[in-house]
Amino acid sequence: MEKAKDFCLPGIDENGKEINFCLKDYLGKGRDIILYFYPKDDTPGCTTEACDFRDNLNTLKDYGIVVGVSPDSIESHKKFKEKYNLNFILLSDPEKKVMQEYGAYGEKVMYGKKTMGVIRSTFIIDSEGNIKKAWKNVKAKGHVEQILKFYGAKK
């Protein structure tokens, strides 16, 4: 099994408080980390995906903690969180360093054109720091359902 790359990023916790999130601090607690990368706060696809995580958090939290990462600022995350009542951790990776380490940033094709950008991806990291499952280029709508199926959970 591939080891998840350790990282520390600034962000906000589920209550909107500013934090410095280090992956290693969340390992060893017997729960998975559901780490998802998304392009931009308050855009249609990213809002759909975030609200899907929000609406299914009661089920998901039986398996792990949800952590969303985008290049947006902490201020942007706060507005996004408040606007949609998001109930999970949001982290800021403006230099896209962590995204690159996880292969969640790079060349992608949009409307037939190649561009550089965030590749919507999710990683399930177990409490030992192993990547149990990785999804790349996911669709915003219906992705949380894939995660629930992975865990054998009912929606």
Spell out the long-range contacts of 101-110 with Cβ–Cβ below 8 A and sequence spacing 24 or more: 101/5, 101/7, 102/5, 102/35, 102/37, 103/136, 104/37, 104/69, 104/136, 105/37, 108/137
Q: Which of 70, 66, 63 is nearest to 53 (CA)?
A: 66
Give me the catalytic one of 8, 22, 46, 51: 46
Q: Which residues pair with 21 in a beta bridge?
A: 9
Q: Which of 111, 108, 112, 114 is nearest to 137 (CA)?
A: 108
46 is catalytic: yes
Cβ–Cβ under 8 Å, residues 37 and 99? yes
Residues taking part in catalysis: 46
